[in-house]
Structure formats: C-alpha cells, structure tokens
Amino acid sequence: MAEPRILGIVLAGGAGTRLAPLTEDRAKPAVPFGGLYRLIDFALSNLVNAGILKIAVLTQYKSHSLDRHITTTWRLSNLLGNYVTTVPAQQRLGPRWYTGSADAILQSLNLINDERPDLVVVFGADHVYRMDPGQMWRQHLDGGAGVTVAGIPVPRQEATAFGVIQTADDGQRIEAFLEKPADPPGLPGRPDETFASMGNYVFSTEALLDALRADSADEDSKHDMGGDIVPLLVGQGAAQVYDFTTNDVPGEKAGTERYWRDVGTLDSYFDAHMDLCATIPAFDLYNERWPILTHIPSRPPAKFVHDDGDRVGRAISSIVSNGVIVSGGCVRESVLSPGVVVHSWASVERSVLLDGTHVGRRAVVRDAIVDKNVRIGEGVEIGVDKDDDRARGLVVSAAGITVVGKGREIMK
C-alpha cells in the first residue's frame, strides 16, 4: 500500500501567560529550552524525523522571534516540495483573530485544500518529548478512526490538571474526553492510572473537515481542538487513543520510560531543565538516531579558566553551551545557554541562564531562571532571599523559583 500523503500542522498561537515574564517578548513556542533549543524544536524534530516534511506552523501572539527562528533554522528541500512555514492569522473568514485552536485550522483550510493530504497530523508546539509519530498514524489507519489522540498514562490523582481520555473496555476506543475532571476515570486493568491527552492528534482529512465545519456553526463552542473537535468525533464513535508508552523511538534504550513534559508553568519549565542535569537524565538529549534539531549559533567552544585556591572555573552536573565562559566561578546543576559568562568567585546553583547573561564576581544565583542578556552585578544575590527578590520586582514562582526578565540589570 502506498504511503499516505500527510500534512503536519503545529499549533503555535498560544500566549503562554503562565510562563511570564519569559513570554513577555516572545510566543511560548519560541521560549528557549535546554541551552540550544526552542520549545517548538521538539515537535518539529519529531515530525521531520518521522518523514513528515510538509509542515505549517500556525502563529498568532508575539510571533516575531518564532518566525525568525523557523525561517533561519527549519529550511527543508524546495526541490522535493518540502517545507516548514509559519502561517500567521490571515483573517480569511473576516476581520478577527483566531478564537481557538480549531478556528486557527478552519481559517487556514487553504493549506489543506492545496496539499490534499490523506491525513492531517496536528501537534502542539510547546511540550518536551521524543516521539515517532509514524507509529501513531499507522495505528490510526489500522483502526479506521476519524481521529487518534496521543495519550500518556498518569496517576489518577495527578490527572485533574489535564484533558483526560476515558476508553472503552478494549483500551483503545474513546468513550469520553473530559477536561480537567475532578474524578478522572481509571484505565481498563489499571484503575490507579488514566490517560492524559498530550495534545497531539492524527486526523483523517475528511473527518477533520467535517468536524471543523460543524464546530464553526456551533455558537456555544470555544472552537478548541481538545475541548470541542475531539469530543464531537468521540460522540460519533470515531475516536481512538494511541498509548504513548508503546512508542518505540530509534536510539532509545529498551525499557526506557517515555518522557513527556508540559512546560506550561515556570515551575514545570524549571523542573524539566533539572531533569536534563541528572547523572542519568530523565530526558536524553544525546540520541543521535532521533536528534532534536535546531540552529547552533556560531560561537567558540565553552571555556573554563582559573585554578587558584577558591578561584576555580568549574561546572558540575550541568549543561554548558558553546560560547560560555566560566571564569573562576562554580556552576552546579544548572543549564547555561550560549554566551553566558560566570565571573570569578561567583556561584550558580540549580539555575537556568539564557543567552548572553553575565554573572558578576562573587554574585550568587540559586534556584532561578534568568532570561537573555541579563547583567547581575558584583556581589548580588538572586534566589537566596525571596523577599529581596520580590522587592526588586522579580517574579517568584509558586515553588520558590526566582525569574529575572529579559535584559534586566541588577547591580545591588
């Protein structure tokens, strides 16, 4: 049987307000992650590695940084008709913004009409994970559903924060799609677990188009893919779940637990970075058979200097990007993005420092997220006293992580 024609659509229009101040100047999918990457690189890498090479990224809020990243990074072969392209809100159906993720696709139906795909793969743009979507769309074709929803088993008590999938006794057909239920349903044979939706969908094109048209006529709909389109197809008996834990990614060790994180809050964003710093990381960036792709900036290698008494340049259990200079300071359990400089006798612990940040002599940065091009002065302490941080106008998350906004200078 011939391979199906597939169009990838990545939903990248969310405002990401829970990640402020990191999203004050950029869309959520453009937020840097893991030293070198942007959040959107994970979804795009999974699609491209699986051979899905026609991809439209639907954007809306503060999209300049995201547009620039995709334009300069995600260049596929025009000779073969492949592309990754950003598609802003075009107001094709009238002078209005997207009112929801389903409306974003409805207003961009020209993309589907032009490509005439057999399947439309719709992925979110702001999760950290590694997945082979090919195994999902093959199950979709075998099962004959209108939509297949990727689900990850989570403990029932934690599922109240997610869209939840209730399956039939066969564990595959979806009986109900519940948005943040107070009492999530258990799985067949696993009553203490439930399927949380990952926000990734495979649609048969005709089923998607019919659902979008029906949803657009519903004045009570919020026009959301998970909240409205999937429940509509569930009601028709045309929805099934794909169990993410069965996904076998090339290069992953057998028996490795599948990793997926929704980094929609400052604390989850921070925790996902700490996952990278572990001796045996929960998420392995070093899988060469299924790489996370991005643009690597043209900077020199990282450099560590000074070895004199307590003035030693070193980094332990940390990720250090190119262009970083650790000059007589100590870095522990941290992620340093390109161009970060840590000066003598400074201490950086359990922190995420984005591009171009400078940490002055004898400064302390602890339990913090520091956005791009921040200057922290000599002897300044960030993250040590949360009341002092708040007095400086810094954000402190629910779990006590201090966040310094882009371009700040903190000299005392």
- If we measure between CA atoms, which residue out of 310, 294, 396 comes closest to residue 355? 294
DSSP state of 118: S
Q: Name 158's Cβ contacts closer than 8 Å, sequence gap at least 6.
A: none
Q: Are residues 257 and 328 in the same domain?
A: no
Q: What is the SS3 assignment for 324?
A: coil
Residue 164 reports pLDDT greater than 70: yes
Q: Are residues 103 and 250 in the same domain?
A: yes
Residue 327 reports pLDDT greater than 80: yes
Alpha helices in 26-98 (DSSP H): 40-49, 64-73
Query: What H or E segment, with its residue span, contains residue 138?
Result: helix 133-143
The per-residue pLDDT of the chain, averaged, comes to 94
Q: Give the pLDDT of residue 204.
A: 98
Q: 372: domain range?
A: 303-410
Residue 411 to residues 12, 146, 293, 358, 379, Cα–Cα distance (Å): 36, 58, 37, 11, 8
- What CATH number is given to the structural domain containing 101? 3.90.550.10
Beta-bridge mates of residue 154: 194
Contact 86, 67 (CB under 8 A): yes
- Distance of alpha carbon 118 from alpha carbon 145, whole angstroms: 13
Q: Are residues 242 and 135 in the same domain?
A: yes
Instruction: Tell whether 269 is in a known binding site.
Output: no
Instruction: Tell whether 163 is in a known binding site.
Output: yes
Q: Are residues 217 and 333 in the same domain?
A: no
Q: Which amino acid makes up residue 201?
A: Y
- Distance of alpha carbon 19 from alpha carbon 382, whole angstroms: 19
Beta-bridge mates of residue 347: 330, 364
- Give Rg (Cα) of the chain: 22
Q: What whole-number percentage of the chain has pLDDT above 70?
A: 99
| 311-312 vs 307-308, strand pairing mode | antiparallel
Instruction: Tell whether 180 is in a known binding site.
Output: yes
DSSP state of 156: G
Q: Are residues 396 and 359 in the same domain?
A: yes
Q: Are residues 273 and 307 in the same domain?
A: no
Residue 333 reports pLDDT greater than 60: yes
Residue 406 reports pLDDT greater than 60: yes
| 335-336 vs 319-320, strand pairing mode | parallel
- Distance of alpha carbon 11 from alpha carbon 19, whole angstroms: 17
Q: Which amino acid makes up residue 3?
A: E
Whether residue 223 lies inside any domain: the answer is yes
Q: For 117-150, what is each residue's pLDDT tens digit? A: 999 999 999 999 999 999 999 999 999 999 999 9
Q: Give the pLDDT of residue 19.
A: 96
Model's pTM, two decimal places?
0.95
Q: Are residues 82 and 46 in the same domain?
A: yes
Instruction: Tell whether 54 is in a known binding site.
Output: no
Q: What is the SS3 assignment for 377?
A: coil
Q: Are residues 95 and 152 in the same domain?
A: yes
